Amino acid sequence: MLVVALCGCTAGEGSTTDPQTARDELSALFDETQDLIDGDWTNEDQVVPLSCTTREGVDGVQFELHRTGPGTDDADAAARVADLWKANGYEILRTGEAGAFGFEVAAENARRSSIVFTTTEDASIVTGGSGCEPGDVADPTYSPWLTDSPSEPTD
């Protein structure tokens, strides 16, 4: 099985969204993508934010999303995914056969969110990263399990 992961590492100029909104938008697009391929999917989205540097040179936050689902040998599946992603503002970087491994679509949006869909007869994968949006990974908004004070030992 071929697995290709691309992760957006810089925000587009003039980015006006926050990291959680960027994550939620990408998650919704992945949900729509899953709906194009019948069957059960497994959500393996990462809840831990990643630090990055925006194009403007400030600290940023991004999230990695990953879904696995049923395979298909439907050659039109990649075209349907590409159409959906184009309709949602993504530029298709490549689409078509991925060698002996099936079909693939890779795309990127203006905020540099990079995503990939790969399918074979055995499995389908949707993976990618939200755009790098200004923020701090230590901010409890994105990492609620982090605190400013160390844990106190208990007796």
pLDDT exceeds cutoff 70 at 13: no
Q: What pTM does this model have?
A: 0.80
Provide mean pLDDT across the span 36-48: 92
pLDDT tens-digit series, residues 70-105: 998 887 899 999 999 999 999 999 887 766 678 999
Determine the pLDDT at residue 142. 81
- Residue found by looking up tokens 């991004």 in the block: 62
> Is 144 within the bounds of a domain?
no
151 occurs within a structural domain? no
Helix/strand/coil for 80: helix
Residue 20's domain comprises 1-60+72-117+130-138
**Residue 91: how many other CB atoms lie within 10 Å:** 11
Q: Tell me: pLDDT of 5 over 60.
A: no
Q: If you average pLDDT over residues 8-12, what whole number do you get?
A: 40
Helix (H) or strand (E) holding 134: strand 133-134
Asked whether residue 52 is domain-assigned, the answer is yes
Residues 49, 127 contacting (CB under 8 angstroms): no
How far is CA 97 from its chain centroid? 21
Question: What are 34's two structure tokens?
Answer: 């899953």
pLDDT value at residue 107: 95
**How far are the Cα atoms of 32, 45, 105, 110 from residue 85, in angstroms, in the given order?**
10, 19, 9, 13
C-alpha 143/C-alpha 155 separation (Å) is: 28
Residue 7 pLDDT greater than 50, yes or no: no
What sign has the CA pseudo-torsion 141, 64, 83, 28? Answer: negative
Query: Does residue 34 form part of some domain?
Result: yes
Q: What is the pLDDT of residue 10?
A: 39
pLDDT 10s digits, 112-129: 789 999 998 899 999 999
Give how many domains the chain has, as a whole number: 1
66 lies in a domain? no
Establish if 148 belongs to a structural domain. no
Question: Rounded to 5, what percent of the chain is helix, strand, coil?
Answer: 20, 30, 50
Q: Look at residue 98 and tell me if it is in a domain.
A: yes
84 against 111, higher pLDDT: 84
Residue 155 in domain: no
